Amino acid sequence: MSWLVVAGFLIFFVGMALSIALHELGHLVPAKLYGVKVTQYMVGFGPTLWSRRRGDTEYGLKWIPLGGYIRMIGPLPPKPTDDPNKLRNMSTGPWQGLIETARQASLEEVKPGDADRVLYRKLWWQKVIIFSGGPAMNFLLAFVLFAVVLMGFGISVAKPVVGEVSKCVVTVAEQQKGKGCTPAHRPTPAALAGLRVNDKIVSFGGKPVNSWDDATVLIRSHGPGPVAIGIERDGRPMTLNTALIGQDRPSLDDPTKLDKNVGFLGVSPVFVVERQSPAYVVGFMWDLIKRTASALAHMPQKLVGVWQAAFGGAERALDSPQSVVGAGRLGGQIAASAIPLENKVAGFIQLLAGFNLAVGMFNLIPLLPLDGGQIAGGLWEGVKRGYARVRRRPTPGHVDIAKLLPLTYAMAIVLVVMGTLLIYADIVNPIRLPG
């Protein structure tokens, strides 16, 4: 294995560890602000590699860098009949016994003088802020890192200027087989129209063209048939006429699908690197959030594809989920690639930004033990108390998430199985960058 691959892998893991540390800091700061006693702040899992105690909190690193946590006392409320400073006998029944064992362990952490520092006694909105802090930190990191790439390095942007004119019409199937032009292939509409490299497309079918996206939409939606193309050549306006043909082309929304019989001209654009505005970063982030949410909604189907890639030798889809091991391997590929150093740095930053966005979105799933489950519990407590206040009823007790522990443990098992599958797939059949 190339030392560049190893270096890229390690660089990504350092960035990932810093991201995890900041995620947990997003929980730690509001927890301490609202007076919750935090006994541990740890990056990683397993045996402790290093730690140091400051006040009530032990800060440390653990050997397995696959996550992190902060430990807050009193996450589970006692039963209404319980004395929070005393233990009670365990109830019978496997699930009830599990719940009561966890409840007792939670109460054992509460020392004399800690009654007002337990998590469950905090106001519902304070609990929501505490558990939202981690994902919020991931979103902030993602935004800052994407801003560095988009505003600092810039991105390649397609301009409505002809960069290449295809000489003949080659179908998608022929392109996939590596076939090129032969005397049997007909010329493209662009070649017949006399389009040249560096011609700027200013209108299409009488409609103005301000970007390459405009040109693409107009060409495809026009379909087969005659059309007038307004261009500028060497600063002089010209109008060219041609007849588009209908072709099956990869969908703009989903390249794995084909759009049937769309208009085809036969040109490709000029690409230039441009730095973007903050508004562009916001729009870029929003688009990624929507796509990530869609990917999470289709996670079961995507995991089937990961299983087939891991155990059946199927091709690993570029958009399939991956573990931190897989992301680290992508970091190694970026480091070992032949692209300029500036592009490598931008690639690393963008990879880490995508990791933070994915972690933030995943943690918002409203299921325990994820942050989203805790947030949902806090919001439900707020709804109950608001309803009771409106109806002038007694204030209800705190939401008892201990009752959801069986579901929490089941979800934890699912997460472990999913993580193991992804790590295995990332070792035996990882995602590989094109080219």
Nearest to 19 by CA among 141, 149, 177: 141
Please report how the helices 94-108 and 405-428 are oriented relative to each other, as an axis angle in degrees rounded to 10.
Answer: 90
Question: Hey, how many other C-beta atoms are within 10 angstroms of the C-beta on 229?
Answer: 27
Does residue 24 have an active-site annotation? yes
Q: Are 243 and 186 in contact (CB under 8 A)?
A: no
C-alpha–C-alpha distance, residues 368 and 415, integer Å: 11
Q: Token digits for 219?
A: 């060409």
Cis peptide before 369 (omega within 30 of 0): yes
Annotated catalytic residue, options 24, 108, 232, 381: 24
Q: How far apart (Å, rounded) are the C-alpha atoms in residues 413 and 95?
A: 16
Cβ pair 330, 323 in contact under 8 A: no
* HSE value, Cβ hemisphere, 13 Å, CA-based, for 193: 30
Give the sign of the dihedral formed by CA 217, CA 221, CA 222, CA 223. positive
Using N-to-C axis directions, what is the helix angle for 341-363 and 3-33, rounded to 10°? 40
Q: What is the largest CA-CA distance in the chain?
A: 90
What residue has token string 């696959």? 66
Residues annotated catalytic, as ranges:
24
